[in-house]
């Protein structure tokens, strides 16, 4: 006969499915904030009040826990779309899901690459099916568009909804959801026939012959973009660049030094003057021309050394402040928090449309991206 103490403990033990989901959602928050390599199973266990060995009853290793974190996040997206009967209803439900699981987009874009191929493939297939379901709502609402432009707008709208995952702003839940719905709806209604306004192109990169250090950095950026910073070794970079280890260290003493240099290169090339249309046009043109650099810039800041991360955060704040001032000059009635929300959403559109999938190969994609992002910046939030 079981003791009262044993029975009491069993009564407080959560059902396995509930504990498994609790661990996955706690892990999602840790992976979002710290990155895969910054999280231990002990950290996750402590967060839900169990021991680290108890985690192994539900997940065999940290990769499986990451897979669970992504799966539970996609469950929220799936639930949002499954009963939606219109684009408006889908946007409302997706905005709610985006705020309740702000980690999902970062987990998909930054952390999923840590999964093994057999773990990653089902998650990627599921996300693509959800994206296709959302694109179906956009297509139904926009019968004037061909499939390519439906993909542009659905990707851009997803980017708006993903912005709380990368750059949240301090808004009450209901107001935040309303702003996301309005901004993503504005994207879905955007006129992609509008061409980018005329003006100067971004500051040209010097046409001098690149030195070996620049060539090495170009190689590192390409590898970081394709495989993720953590998966690339100095030897990988050297082999791809045709350089031996000692020669690499002559230019960059550490791998992290290459990542820091990549971020400084990105910041040095960002447009730093002009009205909001000029900033948007030049930023988009730069992202299209420097797709691999922007791929690193948008996802790898978690791997910067502490000092360089603070430097990057300050540079991002300066860039957002520049855009915000330009947007408020055109829209003086817009408050600071909503201005920042729209600026971050516009940036996210540029990053995702240019970087994700094959949309970057479309003729005219730069002008289409500008039109979608401009629709966000012009969103009526009153």
Contacts of 70 (CB under 8 A, 6+ apart): 28, 104, 107, 108, 111, 112, 115, 123
Whole-number Cα distances in Å, 208 to 204, 211, 336? 11, 9, 41
Q: At what angle do helices 306-330 and 276-289 cross, to 10 degrees?
A: 140
Give the count of beta carbons closer than 10 Å to the beta carbon of residue 265. Answer: 18
| Residue 363 structure tokens | 């003729």
The reported pLDDT for the residue numbered 4 is: 43
Give the pLDDT means over successive 10-residue stretches in the chain (382 positions): 41 77 96 95 93 92 97 97 96 98 95 93 96 98 97 98 96 98 98 64 52 91 95 93 82 95 97 95 95 95 97 97 98 97 98 89 94 98 88
Kindly list the structural domains of the chain, giving each domain's residue range(s) and its CATH number in brackets, ordered by start: 14-141 (1.10.357.10), 212-377 (1.10.357.10)
Q: Can you spell out the DSSP letters for 172-203?
A: -HHHHHHHHHHHHHHHHT--TTPPPPP-PPPP
The reported pLDDT for the residue numbered 8 is: 42
The reported pLDDT for the residue numbered 382 is: 82
Task: Measure the CA–CA gap between 102 and 154, rounded to whole angstroms.
Answer: 19
At residue 143, the 3 state secondary structure works out as coil
């Amino acid at each position: 006969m079981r003791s009262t103490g044993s029975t009491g403990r069993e009564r407080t033990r959560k059902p396995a499915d509930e504990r498994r989901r609790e661990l996955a959602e706690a892990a999602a928050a840790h992976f979002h904030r710290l990155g895969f390599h910054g999280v231990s199973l002990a950290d996750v266990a402590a967060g839900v009040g169990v021991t680290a060995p108890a985690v192994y009853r539900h997940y065999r290793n940290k990769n499986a826990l990451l897979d669970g974190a992504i799966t539970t996040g996609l469950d929220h997206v799936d639930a949002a779309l499954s009963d939606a009967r219109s684009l408006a209803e889908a946007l409302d439900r997706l905005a709610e899901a985006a705020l309740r699981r702000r980690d999902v987009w970062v987990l998909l874009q930054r952390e999923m690459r840590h999964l093994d191929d057999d773990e990653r493939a089902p998650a990627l297939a599921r996300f693509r099916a959800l994206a296709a379901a959302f694109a179906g709502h956009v297509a139904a609402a926009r019968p004037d568009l061909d499939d390519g432009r439906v993909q542009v707008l659905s990707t851009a709208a997803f980017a708006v909804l993903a912005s709380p995952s990368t750059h949240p702003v301090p808004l009450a839940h209901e107001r935040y959801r309303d702003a996301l719905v309005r901004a993503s709806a504005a994207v879905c209604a955007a006129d992609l026939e509008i061409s980018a306004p005329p003006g100067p192109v971004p500051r040209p990169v010097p046409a001098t012959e690149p030195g070996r250090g620049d060539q090495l950095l170009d190689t590192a950026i390409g590898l970081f973009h394709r495989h993720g910073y953590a998966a690339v070794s100095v030897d990988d970079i050297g082999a791809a660049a045709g350089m031996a280890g000692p020669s690499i260290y002559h230019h960059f003493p550490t791998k992290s030094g290459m990542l820091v240099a990549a971020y400084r290169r990105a910041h040095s090339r960002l447009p730093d003057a002009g009205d909001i249309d000029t900033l948007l046009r030049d930023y988009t043109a730069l992202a299209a021309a420097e797709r691999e650099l922007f791929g690193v810039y948008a996802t790898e800041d978690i791997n910067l050394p502490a000092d360089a991360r603070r430097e990057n955060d300050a540079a991002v704040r300066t860039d957002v402040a520049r855009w915000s001032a330009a947007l408020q000059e055109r829209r003086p009635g817009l408050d600071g928090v909503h201005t920042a929300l729209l600026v971050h959403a516009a940036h996210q559109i540029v990053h995702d449309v240019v970087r994700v999938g094959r949309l970057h190969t479309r003729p005219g994609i730069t002008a289409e991206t500008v039109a979608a992002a401009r629709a966000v910046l012009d969103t009526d939030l009153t």
